[in-house]
Chains A and B, each alone.
Chain A
Amino acid sequence: MQTIAAVFAYTLKEHIRHKAWLSSALFGLVLLGGALVVSALGQDERARLMLDLGLAAIEAISLVSIVFLTVNLILQEIESRAIYLILTHPVRRADYLLGRYLGTVAAIALGMTGMALMHLALLSLYGGIEPARYLAALGCMLGKTAVMGALALLLSLALTSEAAAMSFAVFFWMLGHFSAEMRFLADRSGSAFLKTALVAFSHAAPDFAHFNYRDFWHQAAPGGDWLAWAAVYALAYTAACLALSVQLFEQKEF
């Protein structure tokens, strides 16, 4: 546990110092500013536009950041051979991987919190919103980001290529939002093979479509029990990806 905490703190500090992360935050600011400008064109729906576009900007920045950071998290250390130095110390590979991952997610969460605070300040100019719902939407976005981070880490270890891992991560992101469509296609498919393949794919990919609180904000709000199951889903899916990553990492010869 101490090792995880030490690696976590080191990773968090590293990301805070990292210029890529800072430029992402700046880009997020630009996107939030863009949302403010675009929402001005929305007439009666300005508050809605400000809410939707701001949340979308926060999520887009978080997604790009988490995929970029986690894909490079271990691969860069393997390339620069820094991993040899770390693993000569009494550090379990699982602890090291978990600490690195948690530190990265914490850095992204910090960035999201900063952007959310700026967004809330802008929203307060247009009458504000329900804080509990905003927190739920932000929680779901963090859940999606955590799942994507774990998936990107797994892909980077499995494919050992940054470009391939990033491409597959984006593919899974799309597939995750396509899960309802895949089940719809499976229902209408005449071929048993295609039906099974579609259902298997829809379950294997993270179910982001049902997790997209930000997108169905204006529809009837789900209850607290839904949020609890969504949290269990995100944690279990993330943990499954991390367990697979540890399995792959432990099998690697350095």
Chain B
Amino acid sequence: MNYRWLAAAAALFVLALFAGSRMRRLHEPRFPPLSELKTGPFAFSDAALAVAGFRAPAADLAWIDLLRYTAGSLPGYTDSPGKAYEHLGVLSLRVTRLDPSFHRAVLFAAGILAWFHGVERPDEAAELLHEGMRRSPEQPLYSLYLAALAYKRQGDSNRMIALLESSFDLPETPATMKAILANLRQSRGEYREALILWIRILENDRDRSEHGRAKTKIVELRGLISRGAPAKR
């Protein structure tokens, strides 16, 4: 019996092993192991998609679940009384553990947890940001938000706002965070600054999700300014 094809297969397989080791040495995808995926009702579908090589689409679907939760329409995730956005941290970790390059999930959740009116859980936000930074140290917004949180804890809101505003035009900054910033300005009586921020949101195509609110806010702030409301507290 002729085994020349078998010999050729063995030689080609050795070549494939060599090329595979070179390929792995040149680039290693940075995905957390499957054991670190968040548990919960979605664990099976997340693991199945990850094992089939669809981690990025799984993270995308998890992001949609996160948005549905913030809109109050994710079944099985109802907040306890007095604890708004109780599951936000878990759901954003679900996204980032599927795909650590999905920075916006962590930034979005940290923004709400740290600065949203009536939520204010900066410790939880800091935990999220630390995990995001550990998994993607190259993302500058994690450390910037952590620094802003430090200013918030010190009560230095001027420096906090200035720092957050320095990231306003970066593509990774979530539209929600920009809206929070504009609201922070308004709550301090800085209507002109708040108006400028809302106009910048409206002019940016990436912030389409906040355009509806921006239009309302611009009308409201123009009214306040024209009525001569106090310019600065």
B9 with A247: CB separation less than 8 A = yes
Residues of the A chain whose Cβ atoms lie less than 8 Å from the Cβ of B207: 44
Min CB gap A157→B, angstroms = 12
Of B54, B99, B208, B209, most A-chain CB atoms within 10 Å: B54
Asked, given contacts A38-B64, A178-B51, whether A214 binds B16 with beta carbons under 8 Å apart, the answer is no
Query: Is A8's CB within 8 Å of the partner chain B?
Result: no
Tally of chain A residues near chain B (CB < 8 A) = 55
Query: Is A230's CB within 8 Å of the partner chain B?
Result: yes
How far, in whole Å, are A217 and B13 apart by their CA atoms in the complex?
Answer: 28
Query: Is A237's CB within 8 Å of the partner chain B?
Result: yes
Min CB gap A175→B, angstroms = 9
Of A174, A181, A211, A229, most B-chain CB atoms within 10 Å: A229
Residue of A nearest to B48 (CB): A174
Min CB gap A62→B, angstroms = 12
Query: Is A225's CB within 8 Å of the partner chain B?
Result: yes
Asked, given contacts A52-B56, A218-B99, A233-B19, whether A210 binds B175 with beta carbons under 8 Å apart, the answer is no
Residues of the B chain whose Cβ atoms lie less than 8 Å from the Cβ of A239: 8, 12
Residue of A nearest to B33 (CB): A184
Please tell me which one of the listed residues A48, A219, A222, A223 contacts residue B60 in the complex, with CB atoms under 8 A apart. A48
Residue of A nearest to B13 (CB): A240
Min CB gap A208→B, angstroms = 6
How far, in whole Å, are A43 and B68 apart by their CA atoms in the complex?
Answer: 11
Residues of the A chain whose Cβ atoms lie less than 8 Å from the Cβ of B20: 203, 207, 210, 233
B1 with A251: CB separation less than 8 A = yes
The stretch among B24-32, B120-128, B158-166, B190-198 that forms the contact with chain A is B24-32
How far, in whole Å, are A22 and B54 apart by their CA atoms in the complex?
Answer: 25
B53 with A208: CB separation less than 8 A = yes
Residues of the A chain whose Cβ atoms lie less than 8 Å from the Cβ of B90: none
Query: Is A244's CB within 8 Å of the partner chain B?
Result: yes
Min CB gap A93→B, angstroms = 10
| Partner-B contacts on A (CB < 8 A) | 38, 41-45, 48-49, 52-53, 56, 59, 94, 127, 173-174, 176-178, 180-181, 184, 203, 207-212, 214-220, 222-223, 225-226, 229-230, 232-233, 236-237, 239-241, 243-244, 246-247, 250-251
Given contacts A52-B60, A177-B52, 6 further A-B contacts (CB under 8 A): A173-B52, A181-B33, A215-B54, A218-B56, A219-B29, A240-B8
